[in-house]
């Protein structure tokens, strides 16, 4: 079922243009890394605050709200630069267990960030036991670092 989708991605004009160009893929990959770095930075500042470290002079909710705007823009840039990388090598990724693992981890991280992490970050600071934000910060950090690390390892073991 999925094979047809991967083959369609591989056959797109954009994928062919990327495969034929010497520079396009490398430059997109580089911009993807800048976008990922910005995205992870916005996650990290929120997670540090949830863990009770970092900018503790500010409320969790204020840090989370400000970081959310960066997350949206950087997330968009990650997506825009990530899609052509995926379609260009879609048939290789189709056979990669690490790619599947990264995508599952990414889905879990996105879901966790948009639901549990968001709720805890904007919740009244006195209304939660202190271990809850700490646990949420730790899980978020582990999930996003897992996405970053597994994404890099695809080059070697994908």
What residues line the site for another protein (CB under 8 A)?
22-23, 26, 29-31, 33-34, 36-45, 48, 53-58, 62-63, 66-67, 69-70, 145, 148-149, 152-153, 155-157
Nearer to another protein, 54 or 82 (CB): 54
Provide the 10 A C-beta neighbour count for residue 58: 13
CB of 155 to another protein, least distance (A): 8
Which of 134, 3, 111 lies closest to 60 in space, CA to CA? 134
Distance CA(68)–CA(74), nearest Å, equals 10
Nearer to another protein, 8 or 53 (CB): 53
For residue 1, CA distances in Å to 97, 100, 104 come to: 17, 15, 18
Nearer to another protein, 59 or 94 (CB): 59
């Amino acid at each position: 079922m999925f094979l047809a989708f991967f083959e369609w991605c591989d056959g797109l004009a954009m994928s062919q243009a990327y495969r034929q160009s010497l520079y396009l893929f490398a430059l997109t990959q580089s911009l993807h890394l800048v976008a990922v770095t910005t995205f992870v930075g916005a996650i990290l500042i929120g997670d540090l605050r949830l863990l009770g470290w970092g900018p503790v002079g500010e409320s969790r909710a204020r840090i989370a709200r400000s970081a959310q705007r960066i997350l949206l823009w950087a997330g968009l840039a990650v997506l825009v630069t990530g899609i052509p990388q995926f379609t260009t090598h879609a048939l290789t990724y189709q056979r990669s267990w690490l790619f599947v693992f990264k995508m599952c981890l990414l889905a879990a991280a996105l879901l966790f960030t948009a639901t549990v992490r968001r709720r805890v970050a904007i919740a009244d600071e006195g209304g939660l036991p202190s271990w809850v934000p700490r646990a949420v910060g730790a899980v978020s950090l582990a999930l996003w670092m897992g996405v970053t690390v597994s994404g890099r390892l695809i080059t070697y073991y994908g």
